[in-house]
Structure 1
Amino acid sequence: MTKRITLLLMTVLIGLALAACSNNNKPALPEASAPPKQMADEMLQRIEQPMLVELESAMVEQLYHLDPALLEDYTIRTPMMNVKTNEIAILKVKDAKDVAAVEAAVKQRAADVQKQFETYLQDQYENAKNYKLVVKGNYVLFVISESADDFVNAFDGFFAKK
């Protein structure tokens, strides 16, 4: 009987030791070196674009089908004139579990822009079809631009290892 108790006690102690040694920490999500607004400002200083204006917060839900409460911080720049499709959005999602929902909302926005220009301006329709969507941790970049690859490279630069 004492051997069984000793064996049971040893099993429990080994289990506790193994549990204490295991690493349950999730890997750290990448963090940008600047907030979204500053990132967009710096990108737009380096990459020439048509005149873009900051989207008012009241319009985020309407145009992006997205609840701003899911976002910790964001900036969305849309064309000043409705003859261009160029657009940039940098969204920092509060909770990693909501990144997929934000991605879906951005894809819906891209589809809406494409539909808007499908029979209007063919060159802008093609531009809208070639949008870029990049996710890094809790950050989502959405860009419609002839220079979309330049925006993606600049965005990646904000996450360079230190």
Structure 2
Amino acid sequence: MKKMIVIVLTMVLAMVVSACSGGKTSTDDKTTNIEASKSAKEMAEQMVTEVEQPSLMELSPEEMEGMYNIDPAKLEDFSVRIPMMNTKSNEIAIFKVKDANDVADVEAAVKVRVENVMKPFEHYLPDQYENAKNHKIIVKGNYVLLVISESADELVKVYDSFFEKK
């Protein structure tokens, strides 16, 4: 009987720990007719206006393609903001994919980008490594969002406000 209780408690503890682990959260809403009320650039601008972030700079299509390995031709719209100084891991990236069949590829490229952000901070700045580890990736229809921030949950709330189901 004691053995059974220990097993059940161990299973419950394992579920609680896995539910509470940070980062790599992907909330999928595969409904393709979801449309944002603003452009990617307007969304990113409002997000950083409402939730204070370190100084971030906007990437050009060429810079985005180099950092994310995403062909800009696959995107209808995007906005990527990275830190001006390489002492922070904060990043906000919003991609509106033209073809729903390419959403998984864009999401995979975003996951690779997160790994690339984490690497230099692993031994350099542990707090920024933890920040990157606790990133958020959100998929809504043809939109893919990446947020790396201490305020990721607040940024996601602002992002969610741009969408209404049709």
TM-score, shorter chain, exceeding 0.5: yes
Instruction: Say whether 1:158 aligns with 2:158.
Output: no
Does the alignment pair 1:74 with 2:90? no
For structure 1, the residue ranges without an aligned partner over 5 or more in a row are 1-26
TM-score (norm 2): 0.79
Task: Please report how far the alpha carbon of residue 32 of structure 1 lies from its aligned counterpart in structure 2 after TM superposition.
Answer: 0.4
Matched, 1:84 2:88: yes
Higher Rg: 1
Letter in 2 for 1:141: L
Stretches of structure 2 that go unaligned for 5 or more consecutive residues are 1-30
Distance 1:31 1:160 in 2: 7
The residue that corresponds to 1:125 in the other structure is 129
Does the Cα contact within 8 Å between 1:89 and 1:141 map onto a contact in 2?
A: yes
Give the % identical residues. Answer: 60
Per residue, is there more strand in 1 or in 2? Answer: 2
What's the C-alpha RMSD, in Å, of the aligned pairs?
1.2
Give TM-score, length-normalised by structure 1. Answer: 0.81
Match of 1:94 in 2: 98
- 2:34 counterpart (4, 9, 30): 30
CA contact (8 A) 2:32 2:100 kept: no
| 1:60 maps to 2:68 | no
Q: Give the ranges of 4+ consecutive aligned residues of structure 1 lying more than 4 Å apart after TM superposition.
A: none
2:131 maps to a residue whose letter is: N
- Rounded to whole Å, the distance in 2 between the matches of 1:154 and 1:135 is 15
